[in-house]
Amino acid sequence: MNDHTQIDEHRDDEGAKTGMWIFIFTELLLFGGLFIVYSVYRYLNPMAFHMAAEELDIFIGTANTVILLVSSMTIAMAITSIQLKRKRLTLILMGITVLLALLFLVNKYFEWTGKISHGIFPGSEILHQSSQGEILFFGLYYAMTGLHALHIIVGVTFIGYVMWLVKTDDVKYDDYVILENSALYWHLVDLIWIFLFPLFYLIT
Q: What is the CATH number of the domain that holds 188?
A: 1.20.120.80
Task: For 72-131, write each residue's pLDDT tens digit.
Answer: 999 999 999 999 999 999 999 999 999 999 999 999 999 999 999 988 888 888 888 888
Full residue range of the structural domain in which residue 170 is found:
2-202
CA distance 29 to 148: 14
DSSP string, 167-194: HTTSSBTTB-HHHHHHHHHHHHHHHHHH
| pLDDT in the model for residue 203 | 78
| Structural domain total, the chain | 1
What would the mean pLDDT of 5-16 be, rounded to a whole number? 60
3-state DSSP of 49-97 = HHHHHCCCCHHHHHHHHHHHHHHHHHHHHHHHHHHCCCHHHHHHHHHHH
pTM, two decimal places: 0.89
| 56 neighbors 110 (Cβ within 8 angstroms) | no
pLDDT in tens, 156-187: 999 999 999 999 999 999 889 999 999 999 99
**Nearest CA-CA partner of 53 in 2, 129, 97, 115:** 115
